[in-house]
């Protein structure tokens, strides 16, 4: 039986940091709504500053560092991808469209054949 790894927050400091992130997000949203009389510029500034502070605290936590490391690894892998040329892309797109048209015609022909067999030959219903 395979066991799965469960990653947990290891230190109390990380738990405090993540709790602070949640508190900052809640405070930013609350400030946005509470500062409604101050005007939209103040509202959006308070929201963006609160969210920026939350992101900053998150990025210095262990979870944030893991996210940054994962993002770097993912970007490194994306750089390794060999993307198709424009000609290859157009050719593959044409193949897909041709296949779709052929399948549509095949399904239409099959539907009409079954309709003819069932309604005209077996049931004897003639449409006017």
pLDDT of residue 11: 79
Segment holding 47, helix H or strand E: helix 40-60
Q: Report helix, strand or coil for 39.
A: coil
Compare 78 and 6 and report the one with higher pLDDT: 78
Q: Reply yes or no on whether the pLDDT at 125 is more than 80.
A: no
Contacting residues for 60 by C-beta, under 8 A, at least 6 apart: 17
Note whether 59 and 17 are within 8 A (CB).
no
d(CA 128, CA 126): 6
Which two tokens mark 117? 């067999």
Give pTM, 2 decimals: 0.56
Mean pLDDT of the chain: 90
3-state secondary structure of 2: coil
Q: What pLDDT does residue 7 have?
A: 58
- Banded pLDDT at 127 (limits 50, 70, 90): low
pLDDT at 107: 98
Evaluate if residue 23 carries a pLDDT over 80.
yes
User: What distances in angstroms separate CA 126 from CA 108, 115, 118, 122, one per listed residue?
Assistant: 20, 11, 11, 11
């Amino acid at each position: 039986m395979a066991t799965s790894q469960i990653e947990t927050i290891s230190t109390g400091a990380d738990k405090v940091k993540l709790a602070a992130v949640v508190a900052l997000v809640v405070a930013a949203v609350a400030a946005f709504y509470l500062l409604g009389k101050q005007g939209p510029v103040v509202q959006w500034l308070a929201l963006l500053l609160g969210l920026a502070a939350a992101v900053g605290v998150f990025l210095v936590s262990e979870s944030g560092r893991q996210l940054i490391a994962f993002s770097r690894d993912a970007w490194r892998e994306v750089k390794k991808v060999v993307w198709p040329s424009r000609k290859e892309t157009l050719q593959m797109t044409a193949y897909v469209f041709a296949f779709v048209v052929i399948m549509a015609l095949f399904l239409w022909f099959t539907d009409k054949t079954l309709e003819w067999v069932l309604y005209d030959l077996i049931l004897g219903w003639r449409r006017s």
